Amino acid sequence: MIKLHGITNRDSDWDALNAITSRLANKDSSIWGPEAQAEAEIRLDWVDLPTTSRDLLPVLDALSAWSREIGHTNFILCGMGGSSLAPEVIAAHYKRALIILDSTQPDQVNDALKSDLSKSCIIVASKSGSTIETASQKALFQEALVSSGLDPSNHMVIVTDPDSPLHKSALEDGLKVVTANPKVGGRFSALSAFGLTPAALIGIDVSVLLDDAYEAAQEFTKTDSPVVAFASLLAKPEFSFAKFYDKNSDFPGLADWIEQLVAESTGKEGRGVLPVILNSKPTAQSNVITFNQNDPLAVVGNLGAQFIFWEWVTALLCYLLRVDPFNQPNVAESKERTGKILANWSDDFGRPALETPNLSIYSEIELDSLEGYLAQSGNGKYLSIMAYLNRNTAEDVIELRDYLERALGIPTTFGWGPRFLHSTGQFHKGGPLVGSFIQITRSSALEIPIPVAGYGFERLVLAQALGDFEALKMRNLPVMRIHLKDERVGIAELVEAARKLKN
């Protein structure tokens, strides 16, 4: 069950949404217009997942029994976007250990690789089965298992769509495979095989999530239901940059999952809603969306209910914004640019506009100080910080978000690269072109070759940053790349410079 706190003003959008909730429950693909209909026809089975995912329960029970018999005590999930964000929330909510590898940054990859592989279950999750990050991670772990004298079939589980390249290769290799419903898009897949398989393996009773989602969804077609009220709220101009805070709730990481769902679904055709995740507790007057019943504007309900609620809200919000909720054209664009850079690799990155002992700044603008560059990054209507760093060791860099938002006076988001490319990256390039962007990259002494690829993770992660840099520049959006020569010292210099800025 979902309860809302802080919504009292009914408007005409409620009537418009009341008229389509039953159509959505019946998976009417015409809701978003004729141009979106073909895609919607093959992407609406998420509506039924609280019921249909029960068919997975015997499969997941058998898989969990196999894992216990092998003796797995360590679980690593290789996945991006919708394939990793929901399992991360589930694991955190139930306080279960799950290593999330949603990066190509070599130091973060190496952190996962240092696990005791003899006791590890590596879950590789990719809807398309061709995502470059997960394909590279799978190849690496498969080679590492064989090199350690271990049989990959005892240590790997694949979650993917039927007949995907990953499905076919996994069957050839004799690996455990759980196939997902192909008519569910990645970001709507929390209650599908992508969310439930890792959860079951780490010992969670996933039927509870399904029960709670089913109960909540029974309310959604009623007049003036919670999904109608909240979709209408998010469609208002004052929520174009919608602030979220989850650190005082039972759902750490839920805001990150919502960020991907909302930003990637709505951010296209020059429209969209961009979630802004706060790190510090907001004031009571700040109009921040939370999940705590004691707060002024809150969505209260258990985890399964939260998942289905936000999926419905997003679909209804896209109806109000007149965009296709299920495509993501600009995510593919960044992938293509990355591929071209890798195919024509050059170590010549041009001359830095500014260089200090700890970092180099690449920008078309030449200024004489780091503080000057940070100050001019406030020229857009929002700022996005994109850190291609090891999030296991570089958490201090998140402080930049609060300091820069305070100093520049504009909404500021923070995303780990390349993870954000499967999330807010779509909004950056497909939503309103009003953003300003700071990339943060770093040098790594680690060289981890990707089997068969002909390059390593250190090249892949930089190519992903450079590809997105190109995509932003092509749209004449202000973007700079700050390259750290030393992660720890460089982050300290960045944070100190941001702290000194005055509003």
Residue-wise DSSP of 76-92: EEE--GGGTHHHHHHHH
Assess contact for 175 and 158: CB atoms under 8 A: yes
pLDDT for 366 equals 92
pLDDT for 153 equals 98
pLDDT for 443 equals 85
Pairing of strands 241-244, 412-416: unpaired
> Which runs of consecutive H residues, i.e. helices, occur in 6-80?
12-18, 21-25, 34-41, 49-52, 57-70
> Which runs of consecutive H residues, i.e. helices, occur in 322-456?
329-343, 370-376, 399-408, 424-430
pLDDT for 271 equals 96
Backbone angles phi, psi at 30, to 5 degrees: -90, 0
Residue 135: count other Cβ atoms within 10 Å of its Cβ. Answer: 21
Query: Hey, is 463 helix, strand or coil?
Result: helix
Dihedral in degrees, nearest 10, Cα atoms 469, 132, 398, 191: 130
CA 82 – CA 190 distance, rounded (Å): 7
Listed residue (318, 241, 247) closest to 281, CA to CA: 247
| pTM higher than 0.85 | yes
Backbone angles phi, psi at 440, to 5 degrees: -125, 115
pLDDT for 503 equals 62
Residues with Cβ < 8 Å from 243, sequence gap 6 or more?
Answer: 275, 276, 277, 278, 282, 286, 287, 288, 289, 411
Task: Sketch out the chain's domains with CATH numbers.
Answer: 3-24+218-321 (3.40.50.10490), 49-209 (3.40.50.10490), 329-500 (3.40.50.10490)
CA 90 – CA 213 distance, rounded (Å): 14
For the chain, give me the number of helices (H) and strands (E)? 20, 15
pLDDT for 444 equals 85
Dihedral in degrees, nearest 10, Cα atoms 419, 396, 259, 247: 140
101, containing H or E segment:
strand 99-101
CA 475 – CA 483 distance, rounded (Å): 22
Q: What is the largest CA-CA distance in the chain?
A: 65
> How do the residues of the chain divide into helix, strand and coil, expressed in percent and rounded to 5?
50, 15, 35
pLDDT for 280 equals 87
Q: Where are the beta strands (DSSP E) in 271-411?
A: 274-277, 298-300, 354-355, 359-362, 382-387
3-state SS record for 125-141: EECCCCCHHHHHHHHHH
Low-confidence residues of the chain: pLDDT under 70: 285, 503
Backbone angles phi, psi at 434, to 5 degrees: -130, 10
